Each structure stands twice: as structure tokens, then as C-alpha cells.
């Protein structure tokens, strides 16, 4: 147990160093509902360190796909009825517009829900 924790710490430090050196991070982006059908289920997306969820998604969603106007409005902001979840917790608009993501974060893009 102690050994595992020690190895992880060393690995974490290596990752931090690599991230600072390269200035990039990897974000796991998951899609659900019709977004999953039209785009993908889960992808690792490279982004510059400190990028927000909005910036990651602007890079990740192809501009020529039919889903781009479904996800973004005319000003390329995420549409109001779309929910962004970071590591299992919903983000506010202020958070997904400006909060810097961390390397290995997972964000999920949820179209309007239709349960019940």
C-alpha cells in the first residue's frame, strides 16, 4: 500500500513536470445522447495547460460537423440548455467559461435530458 502511494507520487511529479515543460494537458471528453451518436463516445483531447472546458470543446468539436451549431451559439459559447459535467459534478457557466481544467480531468457534454 505504502509502496503504491510512493510510486504514484513520483509519477504525479513526473506528469506535472512534463505538463509544465510541454505546456499541454490531456482532457478526457465524453459525449452522451445524440452528441455521442454524431461525434464520439469518449476521446482524449490535448489542450494547452489551464484551458477552460469551453476552450477544450471549441477545439474538440469539428467546426464542419452538424453538431457544432448544436453545441455552440453564434458567438461560439456553449448553448444554455447544454450541461457540462467535470469529474462527475455539473459546472456552472462561469466555471466552464473560465475555470482552468487540470491534466486528466474528465468532462462530459450532455444534450437536453429526456427522461421520465
Partner 1 sequence: MKSREPCGTIGIARERFEIAPLIQAAKDRSTGAIATFVGVVRDDGIESITIEAYEEVAEKDLHEIRDEAVSRFDLVEVTILHRIGILAVGDDILLIVVSAGHRKQAFSGCEYILERIKERVPIWKEENLGNGNRWVRGNNE
* Contacts to partner 1 by CB under 8 A: 32-34, 37, 81, 83, 85, 88, 90, 108, 110-116
- Give the nearer residue to partner 1 in terms of CB position, either 4 or 89: 89
Helix (H, G, I), strand (E, B) or coil at 86: strand
Least separation in angstroms between CB 3 and partner 1: 30
C-alpha cell belonging to residue 53: 472546458
In terms of CB distance, is 34 or 77 closer to partner 1? 34
Rounded Cα distance, 68 and 50, in Å: 23
In whole angstroms, the minimum distance from the beta carbon of 65 to partner 1 comes to 16
CB of 108 to partner 1, least distance (A): 6
**3-class secondary-structure state, position 47:** strand
CA 16/CA 39 separation, integer angstroms: 30
Amino acid at each position: 500500500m505504502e509502496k503504491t502511494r510512493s510510486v504514484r507520487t513520483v509519477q504525479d511529479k513526473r506528469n506535472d513536470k512534463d505538463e509544465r515543460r510541454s505546456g499541454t494537458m490531456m482532457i478526457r471528453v465524453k459525449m452522451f445522447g445524440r452528441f455521442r451518436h454524431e461525434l464520439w463516445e469518449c476521446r482524449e483531447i490535448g489542450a494547452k495547460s489551464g484551458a477552460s472546458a469551453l476552450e477544450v470543446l471549441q477545439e474538440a468539436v469539428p467546426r464542419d460537423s452538424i453538431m457544432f451549431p448544436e453545441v455552440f451559439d453564434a458567438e461560439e459559447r456553449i448553448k444554455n440548455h447544454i450541461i457540462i459535467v467535470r469529474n462527475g459534478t455539473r459546472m456552472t457557466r462561469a466555471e466552464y467559461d473560465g475555470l482552468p481544467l487540470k491534466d486528466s480531468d474528465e468532462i462530459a457534454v450532455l444534450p437536453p435530458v429526456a427522461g421520465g
